[in-house]
Amino acid sequence: MRYLLLIGADEEQAEQAMAEGRFAGFSAWLDDLERRGVLRAHEGLRPSPSARTVRVRGDAVVVTDGPFIEGREQIGGFALVECRDLDEAIEIAAGHPAAAIGRVEIRPVVG
Amino acid sequence: MSPDDRVERAVADAFRRDRGRLVATMIRVTGDWDLAEECVQEAYTLALSAWRRDGVPDSPRAWLTTAARNRAVDRIRREATGTRLRALLALPQPDDEIDLDTLASGIADDRLRLIFTCCHPALAFESQVALALRTLCGLTTAEIARAFLVSEPTMAKRLVRVKHKIAVAGIPYRVPPAHLLAERTDAVLGVIYLLFNEGYAATAGPDLIRHEPCDAAVRLAALVDEVMPAHPEAAGLHALLLLLYARSPARVDATGALVPLEEQDRSRWNRPMIDTGLSVLHRAVAQERVGPYQLQALIAGCHATSPRPADTDWPRIVRLYDRLVALAPTPTVRLNRAIAVAMATGPQTGLDLLDELTDDLAGHHLLPAARADLLLRLGRRAEAREHYRQALAGTDNASERAHLTRRLAECEGR
C-alpha cells in the first residue's frame, strides 16, 4: 500500500532542533528507506512564509500569503512510501526525527 | 427430546463454540470482514436444514467451515478476484485427511490475529471493544449498542466505519512482531476483560450471566496466556476469569435472582475450574511482577479457597485491595475495597469510606446498594430501605432487580 507521510513541526522548534544537531538521525532514516526500497518520493518544503494559498470565489481567484493552518501545524516536508501495511508505515513515521518534536501524519493513498 | 430439538441444540452449541473461530478464519482467507460474517451466518442457517435431513455431522466445525467457504467461493467467483479465491480453495475439505491438531492450532491463531487486529492502536478503544464483541462473540449490533449506551443506528455506523478504516488504512491482519507485542497486549487484555464483564454482569436484559461472551473471553485469555507465557498479567487475567467464572453456577437462584457472594452455595462452584485458575495464578505470581489482574485474581482466589464465608481472610483481601488501589484507583476498585474493609473491621468504617466515593460514583446503582447492605448490617433498616430504593432505580438488569427487591422486602419485614 502507498502512504503519504506529512511531516510537520513547529518551525521555530524545528530550527532550534536542527541547530542543536537533533536531526542527525535524518540521513540514517533516509538510508534505511532506500535500503528497504519503499521510498517513492521525498521532499522538504521551504518555510511557511513562502506559502501562497489560492481560493476561487465565484469568478475571482484570490491569492493570499501564507498557509491557512495554524503556525504550530506547518507541513515541513512529505514522503511517499510504498510498504506492506500500516504497521510498517507507523514504524517508518516514528523513525523520522521530526516525530520526536512535531508529528508525522500518515495518509493512505487511494487505490 | 425430538430429533429436531437435537439438531437445534447441536447448531446452537456449534454457534456458541465455533462462531468466533469460523469468522476469524474466513476473515483471514477472504480479507473481507462483512463477507466473512455473512458467509458464516449463512453456513449456520444451512446447517439447520441440512442436519435435519442428513443428521448432525461428526465434526460440526469442519462441516460449517466448508459450508462457509463454499458460500464465499460463490460470492467471490461472481466478483472474479483470483487471489482471494485461491486462498479460499486452499481451506481443507472435511473429506480430506485433516490433521485435527494442526487445524485446531491454525484456527487458534486466526482468533488471535483477529483480536490483535481489533486492538490495533490506530483504532479508538471503544471501536476495539465493539469490533471484538461483534466478530469474536457474535453479539448483535443492538446488544453492543446497549452495552455502550448508544442507539443502535449509531453503533451500526461506528462498526461500518471501523471496518472501513481497517481496510483503507491497511491495518494488518496478524499478530504483531515481538517488539510490538507488549504494548498491544495491554489493549488485548483490556478488551478480553470487558468482554467477560459484559457477559458476567449483563448491562441489561433478563439474565445476569450471558455465557457466550464469558466463554469467549475465558478461551481468548487462555490463548493469549499460551502465546505469551512470560507475560504475568496475561496469566493473571486468565486466572482471574477462571476464578470468577467458576462461581457462576451459584450466582443466580432458581428464580434467576442474583445471589451475593456470601450467600452462594459453594458446593456448586466449579472446582476443576478453580483448581486450574489457582495453578495459572501460581505460575503468574512466581514471575514476581504483580499487576492489577493478578491482584484481582489473588482476591478471587481468597474467596475460592474459603470453605465458608466466615472463613474468609478479609484482612488479607484488604491488603490486596490496598495494593490494587495504588495501581488502579478506579471508583469501582475503591468501592470494593470499602466493602472489604467493612468486612474486616466493621460496617461503620466501610460507610465512612463510601462517603468519599459519593462524587465519583454519582448515579451508579452499586454505591447505594453497598451502602444499604452496610446499613442493614448495622440494623439501620429505615436508611437501608431508602438506599435499596435508590439502587433499584439505577439498574435495568432483571436479576439484580430481583435481588435488590428481595433485600428491600427484608428491610420492611420484621
What pTM did the predictor assign? 0.75
Cβ of A3 and B172 within 8 Å?
no
Rounded to a whole number of angstroms, the CA Rg of chain A reads 16
**Chain B residues close to A108, C-beta within 8 Å:** 168-170
Kind of pairing, strands A103-108 and A52-57? Answer: unpaired
Can you give the pLDDT at residue A70? 63
**Chain B residues close to A1, C-beta within 8 Å:** 170
Q: What mean pLDDT is predicted for residues B248-255?
A: 89
Q: Looking at residue B93, what DSSP letter applies?
A: P
Neighbours of B270 (CB within 10 A): 18
Q: Which has more confidence, B52 or B88? A: B52
| Domain residue ranges in chain A | 2-108
Burial readout B22-60 (b: 16 or more C-beta within 10 A, e: otherwise): bbbbbbbbbebbebbbbbbbbbbebbeebbeeeebbeeb
Quick: pLDDT tens for B13-53: 998 888 888 998 899 888 889 999 999 999 999 999 999 99
Cβ of B172 and A108 within 8 Å?
no
Quick: pLDDT tens for B316-371: 999 999 999 999 898 889 999 999 999 999 999 999 999 998 888 777 888 999 99
> Residues of B at the A interface (Cβ-Cβ below 8 Å)?
120, 122, 168-172, 176, 180
Separation between Cα atoms, residue B24 and residue B31, nearest integer Å: 10
What ipTM describes this predicted complex? 0.75
Across chain B, mean pLDDT equals: 87
Answer whether residue B405 shows pLDDT above 60: yes
Answer whether residue B283 shows pLDDT above 70: yes
pLDDT grade for A85, boundaries at 50, 70 and 90: very high
Compute the nearest-CA separation of B82 from chain A (Å). 18
Answer whether residue B104 shows pLDDT above 60: no
Counting residues of chain B whose pLDDT is more than 90, the rounded percentage is 48
Can you give the pLDDT at residue B97? 44
- Candidate from B18-27, B126-135, B179-188, B352-361 with smallest mean pLDDT: B179-188
Can you give the pLDDT at residue B16? 81
A-chain residue closest to B179, CA distance: A91
Can you give the pLDDT at residue B95? 46
Neighbours of B267 (CB within 10 A): 9
Cβ of A87 and B176 within 8 Å?
yes
- Mutating which of A86, A104, A110 best tests the B interface, going by the most B Cβ atoms within 10 A? A86
Of A3, A85, A108, the CB nearest to B172: A85
Cβ contacts below 8 Å, chain A against chain B, sum to 21
Q: Tell me, yes or no, if A3 comes closer than 8 A to chain B by beta carbon.
A: yes
Answer whether residue B100 shows pLDDT above 50: no
Compute the nearest-CA separation of B120 from chain A (Å). 9
Q: Look up the CATH superfamily of A2-108.
A: Dimeric alpha+beta barrel (3.30.70.1060)
